[in-house]
Chains A and B, each alone.
Chain A
Amino acid sequence: MESLEQLKARLAQALPAARLELVPNDSPAGQPSLLVNKEAALEVARFLRDDARLRLDYVSNVTGVDWLDTAVTRKVRSRQVIEGIEREIEQTFEEKKPGFLEVVYHLYSMELKHGPLVLRLRTGNRSHDIHLPSLTPVWRGAEFQEREVFDLYGVVFDGHPDLRRILMWDEFQDFPMRKDYVGPDDFEYEPTAHGEVLERARRHEQSPEVPRP
């Protein structure tokens, strides 16, 4: 398969409206991925499937990632004239980066026996702008996995044929794989609590609903 840079250049030529970005990967795997804006995602997906040199006809995996809101502090040193004397002062800026939900598709070609190509889509934020186009019309195999991402992360896939919860029950309201999910306080007995579990057990013991002996 051609390199991701070559693919990106070809995609930019074929679909000028698409905003494409290469996401580097610093881990030992070193596998970069292709980030696509959600408006162009369906066209890009069709291109990846139908292009004669790619023929990515099989989506092996769909995953979700929850990125929390982050605050990045930046320090800027500058020289300013204060009271007639030039001084070097340091200013601190705090930048807030809104979090988002990310969906990662791993694509392979059964026909040409190559892959994977890692495709990423991102939502606008974590609270209300959580819609993404469903890629199930392109790859039928994504149906259940997109339902799972919807169930556990709360990403709403527009155009999905049957978007219901798949693992949790229909009445369930939370999204348990989100990083700020707090599970129900329903364990009363911890024989060998340690670490995070010990903290949870202590919080449980301090809650007013636990009967005192």
Chain B
Amino acid sequence: MGLAKRRAGLEVRISAPPAMMDEGLRSELGKQGIFTTTLEELYNWGRKNSVWPLGFGLACCAIEMIAASMARWDLARFGAEVFRPSPRQADLMIVAGTVTKKMAPQVVRLYNQMPEPKYVIAMGACAISGGPFKQGYNVLKGIDRYIPVDVHIPGCPPRPEALLHAFMKLQQLIDAQALTGGSRPRHLLPEAPSEFLVPEYGPHDLEPPKNPDVWCPPVVGGRET
């Protein structure tokens, strides 16, 4: 990639993968005012610093999410202050609170309406497992039964610091994503799904009660529980 631009004395050269570039040469060029990078680094750097969350809350965790976006914790430091009211403009879904079975189809539908690449943070005990309502009849036992979750935050509710930690973890995850090769993320795999099954209201429970393509029961102590 021999694309080079000269603007205000700063040379921007987008080069081959980082393995091709000698680290010493790179640092030496940096001292001379020549900044070198890769397309992958630039692309991920831009993406990870402008993750726009979808502005929706389900329960008390949403209050902590709102607090995290306000001046005291200031989620804007990470480029995520723009809570979007439309899923079409959002990159990140923060599932903040109890997902009731009545609400679950709507949450999955919102996720389906978000454009790729999209990420999910499940915030709080209810969103990751059903929490104190796990034994009840009306609460979904974790949103990861229907949509793929990138970061889980325990807590009831988690403090804003925990959300910031999860957000930084998500930034690390985005930063490490490769654009090419077999380990590239879902949105770069043409055959990978972008939309997921929306459950329907059944006579006794949601149908199906879980999406087997997304979620399988964890193996505990060498056997499936």
Contacts and interface: CB of A to CB of B under 8 A. Distances in A.
Interface in A159-194: 167-174, 176, 181, 183-184, 186-191
B5 interface: no
A208 interface: no
Interface residues of B, number: 24
Contacts of B210: 186
A213 B223 contact: yes
A167 B201 CA distance: 13
Contacts of B135: 187, 197, 200
Interface of B: 101-102, 130, 134-138, 141, 201-205, 209-210, 217-220, 222-225
Contacts of A197: 135
Contact of A173 (B102, B137, B204, B222): B204
B138 A189 contact: no
A178 to B, nearest CB: 11
Contacts of A40: none
A171 B101 CA distance: 12
A197 B141 CA distance: 15
Interface string A191-205: 100000100110001
A156 B210 CA distance: 33
Contact of A189 (B136, B204, B209, B225): B225
A211 interface: yes
Contacts of A173: 203-204
Given A167-B102, A169-B101, A190-B225, 17 more contacts: A168-B102, A169-B102, A171-B202, A171-B203, A172-B201, A172-B204, A174-B204, A181-B137, A183-B136, A183-B137, A184-B204, A186-B141, A186-B205, A189-B218, A189-B220, A210-B224, A213-B219
22 contacts: A167-B102, A168-B138, A169-B102, A169-B201, A170-B201, A172-B201, A173-B203, A174-B204, A176-B137, A176-B138, A183-B136, A184-B204, A184-B209, A186-B205, A186-B209, A187-B141, A189-B217, A189-B218, A189-B225, A190-B225, A197-B135, A213-B224
Contacts of B209: 184, 186
Given A169-B201, A172-B204, A186-B205, A201 B141 contact: no
A211 B138 contact: no
Give the interface residue-count category, chain A: 20 to 34
A168 B136 CA distance: 13
Contact of A184 (B102, B205, B223): B205
A191 B203 contact: no
A191 B205 contact: no
Residue from the set A171, A172, A190 with the largest chain B CB neighbour count within 10 Å: A172
A190 B220 CA distance: 9
A19 B83 CA distance: 60
Nearest to A200: B135
Nearest to B209: A186
Nearest to B129: A189
Contacts of B223: 213
A171 B105 CA distance: 14
A124 B12 CA distance: 83
Contacts of B202: 171
A130 B135 CA distance: 28
A22 B210 CA distance: 50
B217 A188 contact: yes
Contacts of A189: 217-218, 220, 225
A171 B201 contact: yes
A191 B220 contact: yes
Residue from the set B135, B210, B224, B225 with the largest chain A CB neighbour count within 10 Å: B225
Contacts of A200: 135
A172 B205 CA distance: 8
